[in-house]
Amino acid sequence: MGWYIPFWGLRQRSAVIVRPALCRDIDRPNPHSAEPGTHLSGVNRTPADGRVRRALPRPNPSANPVGTWKQGVDPPMRELTRRLSLSAAGALLAGTAALSGASAPAYADPVEPGSAQAAEQPTLTYGQDVSNYQPQHDWAASPAQFGIIKATEGTDFRDAAFSRHWSELGKKGIVRGAYHYGHPGNDPIVEAEHFLSVVHAQPSQAGDLLVLDLETTDGKSVEEVNAWAKAWLAHVKAETGITPMFYSGWNFADTYGKGLAEYPLWVAHYSKPKGTVTPPADWKSWTIHQYSDSPIDQNVSALSPDELRALGRASA
């Protein structure tokens, strides 16, 4: 059963049929219309993982002031699409709640402790990741047991919300991490040093995680992208003593991530139930599974909070 919700002025569609489980897919271009690691105009999902790339929509990632959008460049289509999707989802959930007399949960459905469903599932640690798309995310009220934040992108972009998120996670006392969105068209060492300079400018605590988010090729070959990732990850490990995580969509990681199994895997795969993803490429296991981007990027880890901390900074 679906609800009829008209949208005018969006990709010249007069209406779409929306089902609650598919609300985040409103106005997605054809997910099969691009090869792994390429960009389409607007927002797209890859065939294998059903996720959205989260790069800044700037022609030159190194050309803009810190934490700002280039004048004349529209805000990201991902955020526009997310707002439309959430508006539709909110209307649907509100209608359902009005009929049932109950309010809808904000996040993923919890598993009742001691239930048959809980007995069938392994213990998973719930987490969220954010960027300047969610500058005022309320970490104090969040059920997350870990949080990962965008810190940098390219050679000079610093996420304007990073400092606030980092501080709020420190107050909450849960596992926290910082990620860098990489561009293989740049020097990997320059990008790694930019990331470390921003992270090191903030107070640190034991267990802090470092992450490379790699989702684009910048027109480079499989071998070049793979070598770029290895150089970035190895440099961060050598400089900090922390083995950084590698984040990407399943399809991209399977194509460009070979030989990176020494780095813990954070993989996005939205078409798989949480915690059931099969590791891509050479990885034998996954560390974090990003299973949804609605109403916020949602993740589960196969590790406990203490085990996650053990992957991060040894001391403050």
Query: Two tokens at 7?
Result: 């949208």
Quick check: is 278 in a domain? yes
Quick check: is 79 in a domain? no
Query: Using an 8 Å Cβ cutoff, are 161 and 130 in contact?
Result: yes
**Residue, of 225 and 95, whose pLDDT is higher:** 225
Element (H, E) at 147: strand 146-153
Query: Using an 8 Å Cβ cutoff, are 177 and 149 in contact?
Result: yes
Boundaries of domain holding 136: 116-309
Amino acid at 25: D
CA–chain centroid gap for 246, Å, is 11
pLDDT, mean over the chain: 75
Q: How far apart are CA 27 and CA 207, in angstroms?
A: 39
Quick check: is 185 in a domain? yes
Amino acid at 90: G
Quick check: is 105 in a domain? no
Q: What is the pLDDT of residues 172-225, one digit of tens each?
A: 999 999 999 999 999 999 999 999 999 999 999 999 999 999 999 999 999 999
pLDDT at 296 over 80: yes
Q: What is the pLDDT of residues 16-31, one digit of tens each?
A: 333 333 333 323 233 2
CATH number of domain containing 284: 3.20.20.80
Q: Which residue has the tokens 């798989």?
A: 272
Quick check: is 301 in a domain? yes
Q: What is the pLDDT of residues 112-124, one digit of tens each?
A: 444 444 445 569 9
Q: What is the pLDDT of residues 238-283, one digit of tens each?
A: 999 999 999 999 999 999 999 999 999 999 999 999 999 999 999 9
Quick check: is 246 in a domain? yes
Quick check: is 281 in a domain? yes
Looking at residue 92, its pLDDT comes to: 34
Quick check: is 236 in a domain? yes
CA–chain centroid gap for 176, Å, is 14
In Å, what is the CA distance from 75 to each residue of 80, 160, 235?
A: 8, 15, 32
Looking at residue 50, its pLDDT comes to: 63
Q: Which residue has the tokens 């997910």?
A: 31
Q: What is the pLDDT of residues 44-87, one digit of tens each?
A: 445 556 665 566 654 443 433 333 333 232 333 333 333 333 33
Predicted TM-score of the model (pTM): 0.70
Query: Two tokens at 107?
Result: 């996040």
Which of the four pLDDT bands, split at 50, 70 and 90, describes residue 316? confident
The number of folded domains in the chain is 1
Mean pLDDT score, 158-182? 98
